[in-house]
Amino acid sequence: MTTLELNVNLSDRLAREARAAGLLTPQALAALLKDAMRRRAAQTLLAGAARATAAGNKPLSMDEIQAEVSRPKLKLGASSPRIGDAFSAPVTLVSLASP
Is residue 45 assigned to a domain? yes
Q: Report how far Cα 83 is from the mean position of its chain's Cα atoms.
A: 26
What is the model's pLDDT at position 78? 56
What is the model's pLDDT at position 72? 76
Is residue 21 assigned to a domain? yes
Q: Whole-angstrom Cα distance, residue 68 to residue 45?
A: 23
Please spell the DSSP secondary structure of 35-46, one letter per residue. Answer: HHHHHHHHHHHH
Which domain does 37 fall in, by range?
Answer: 10-52
**Alpha-helical runs (H) found in 55-86:** 62-70
Is residue 62 assigned to a domain? no
Tens digit of pLDDT per residue, the chain (99 long)? 888 888 999 999 999 999 999 999 999 999 999 999 999 999 999 998 888 888 887 777 888 888 888 887 766 555 555 555 555 545 444 445 544
Is residue 43 assigned to a domain? yes
Q: Whole-angstrom Cα distance, residue 22 to residue 16?
A: 10
Q: Which distant-in-sequence residues (6+ apart) come within 8 Å of 18 by Cβ?
A: 10, 24
Q: Please count the structural domains in the chain.
A: 1
What is the model's pLDDT at position 95? 46
Sign of the torsion formed by the C-alpha atoms of 45, 48, 54 and 57:
negative
What is the model's pLDDT at position 85? 53
What is the model's pLDDT at position 32? 95
Is residue 88 assigned to a domain? no
Is residue 70 assigned to a domain? no
Is residue 94 assigned to a domain? no
Is residue 97 assigned to a domain? no
